[in-house]
């Protein structure tokens, strides 16, 4: 009893101290603002002390921030909460100037206490800008540069072909097949680990962690982010829901960080390891003084690639099949291009990409129309800055609103229409603008963007070559209409679940797919 009272008393004291510090921070912020000649960017009027704490949207976030831009007649917006500053960027021009050209000042991350408690602090995407992040970035660049993509291609081809076979065997299993595809590629490349089904323990653990923690990635999701001292409340205390979530998620993520490394080391000891990023590192570094420290970095990066890539790729796959089902005109044009360039007697290969501009345009438009990360992971300023006559203080959280940028009429005509031809010039060639906004900005741009691009492109080309995708029908033969509602899940968005019809384009398709899968399995066996 006394122990419980002491804990509660200590927590209340810490909370009181924190509130006092917030009030002092707010007073200092007001004093700095009064001395500063430049205003903050436009935005909702803050209330004393709490600022705009209750003005931030909790649903349809990117649409609400886009509406703020129209309301305040500005593409750069400002709000505050308890003395902290938030800036929303609705235009690509501002994002490129601040996040790309001034990357030295805009590459930090907001430190969210809940994200740290859940164990995601070891994820490169959420790391603070510093030495540890640079170590992760260096290794990522070594393994995911454009000129290293040929090492990924055999894994990507094999996994896409296995997905095609799965669609032939059980087309109703579409979304499970996509999940296996998106997770198996980083697992095999980073660990040499062969995923057999969606019930694989690594997949189920990663999915469980994501499902448990999904609602806690936004700053306003829990008071712990505003009052970090609350994170010290023991998980066993009634009502400590966020603390329970953090405890469960951190245990799962720690297992996902250490278990694959142990498996790879044991396989290497037996001479049974499949080549991978981890096995190559262990072979080069095991026994050296720096092995333990660097092994942890590589393991954490592997977890970042595995857990970070999968949900965004799944989102893109879902959107692809929705759009193929609802836009037969686009599907037909893509199939005509593939038939003309490749024919129907073989499957698409990576070398075909340069000869299939419309298929590549579908890929670009897919990620523009429904960006998997509609509101990019926020950046954070490392020093005071001024821009367009506005003051941006040190520590300001910067939200790039990718959704708004992708729907900017100055950049894209008819932005609310799905039009792959916007990326094709009058000569039938792809336009030179290759930027995919959903991959992010500056030094925080997605390190796996080339690998993700290749996987998505081959999936699009292979699906068009092999299948006709349409709307599913009910028991009376009537088409089932699909909802185009895009729902945010953690930092990614997903189209509302739907059913569709998937049928082979010809009797030749099953043989082509079977032969491709058999040849790749033989090659693996032959290498062993």
For residues 133 and 38, give the distance between their C-alpha atoms in angstroms, rounded to a whole number.
33
Cα distance between residue 246 and residue 108, in whole Å: 23
Strand partners, 89: 76, 400
Strand-pairing partners, residue 85, are 80
Q: Which of 439, 463, 443, 442 is nearest to 451 (CA)?
A: 439
Q: Where are the beta strands (DSSP E) in 129-262?
A: none
3-state secondary structure 485-515: CEEEECCEEEECCCCEEEEECCCHHHHHHHH
Packing angle of the helix pair 201-213, 291-326 (nearest 10 deg): 80
Contacts of 364 (CB under 8 A, 6+ apart): 420, 423, 434, 436
- From residue 97, alpha-carbon distances to 92, 305, 333 in Å are 8, 28, 37
Q: 380 labelled as ligand-binding? A: no
Tell me whether residue 526 is exposed, middle or buried, using C-beta atoms within 10 angstroms of its C-beta: 0 to 12, 13 to 18, 19 or more. exposed
In degrees, to the nearest 5, what angle opens at C-alpha 455 toward C-alphas 296 and 322?
Answer: 120
- DSSP H or E stretch at residue 85: strand 84-89
* Residue 100, number of CB atoms within 10 A of its CB: 14
CB 398 within 8 A of CB 379: yes
Residues annotated as binding site for heme? 446
Instruction: Give the residue ranges of the annotated binding site.
Output: 446
């Amino acid at each position: 009893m006394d122990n419980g009272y002491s804990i509660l008393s200590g927590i209340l004291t810490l909370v009181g101290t924190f509130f006092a510090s917030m009030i002092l921070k707010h007073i200092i912020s007001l004093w700095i603002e009064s001395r500063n000649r430049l205003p903050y960017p436009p935005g909702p009027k803050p209330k004393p002390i709490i600022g705009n704490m209750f003005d931030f949207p909790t649903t349809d976030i990117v649409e609400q921030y886009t509406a703020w831009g129209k309301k305040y007649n500005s593409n750069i917006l400002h709000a505050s909460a308890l003395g902290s500053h938030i800036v929303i960027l609705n235009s690509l021009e501002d994002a490129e100037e601040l996040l790309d050209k001034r990357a030295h000042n805009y590459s930090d991350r907001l430190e969210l206490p809940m994200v740290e408690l859940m164990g995601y602090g070891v994820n490169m995407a959420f790391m603070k800008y510093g030495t540890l992040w640079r170590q992760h970035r260096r290794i990522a660049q070594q393994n995911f540069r454009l000129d290293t993509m040929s090492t990924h291609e055999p894994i990507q081809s094999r996994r896409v072909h296995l997905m095609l076979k799965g669609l032939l065997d059980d087309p109703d299993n579409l979304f499970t097949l996509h999940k296996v595809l998106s997770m198996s590629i980083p697992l095999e490349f980073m660990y040499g680990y062969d995923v057999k089904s969606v019930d694989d323990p690594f997949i189920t653990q990663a999915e469980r962690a994501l499902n448990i923690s999904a609602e806690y990635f936004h700053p306003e999701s829990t008071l712990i982010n505003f009052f970090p001292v609350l994170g010290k409340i023991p998980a066993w205390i009634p009502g400590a829901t966020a603390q329970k979530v953090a405890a469960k998620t951190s245990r799962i993520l720690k297992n996902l960080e250490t278990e694959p490394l142990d498996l790879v080391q044991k396989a290497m000891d037996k001479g049974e390891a499949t080549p991978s990023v981890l096995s190559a590192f262990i072979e080069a570094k095991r026994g050296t003084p720096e092995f333990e420290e660097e092994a942890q970095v590589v393991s954490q990066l592997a977890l970042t690639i595995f857990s970070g890539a999968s949900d965004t790729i799944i989102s893109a796959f879902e959107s692809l099949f929705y759009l193929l089902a609802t836009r037969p005109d686009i599907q037909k044009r893509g199939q005509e291009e593939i038939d003309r360039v490749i024919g129907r007697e073989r499957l698409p290969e990576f070398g075909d990409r340069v000869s299939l501009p419309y298929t590549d345009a579908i890929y670009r438009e897919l990620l523009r129309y429904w960006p998997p990360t509609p509101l990019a992971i926020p950046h954070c300023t490392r020093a005071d800055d001024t821009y367009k006559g506005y003051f941006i203080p040190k520590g300001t959280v910067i939200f790039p609103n990718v959704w708004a940028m992708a729907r900017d009429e100055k950049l894209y005509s008819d932005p609310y229409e799905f039009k792959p031809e916007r990326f094709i010039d009058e000569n039938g060639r792809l336009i030179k603008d290759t930027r995919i906004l959903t991959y992010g900005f500056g030094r925080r741009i997605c390190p796996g963007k080339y690998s993700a691009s290749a996987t998505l492109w081959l999936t699009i080309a292979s699906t068009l070559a092999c299948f006709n995708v349409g709307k599913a029908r009910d028991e009376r033969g009537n088409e089932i209409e699909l909802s185009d509602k895009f729902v945010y899940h953690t930092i990614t968005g997903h189209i509302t679940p739907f059913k569709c019809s998937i049928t082979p384009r010809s009797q030749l398709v099953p043989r082509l797919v079977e032969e491709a899968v058999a040849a790749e399995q033989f090659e693996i066996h032959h290498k062993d």
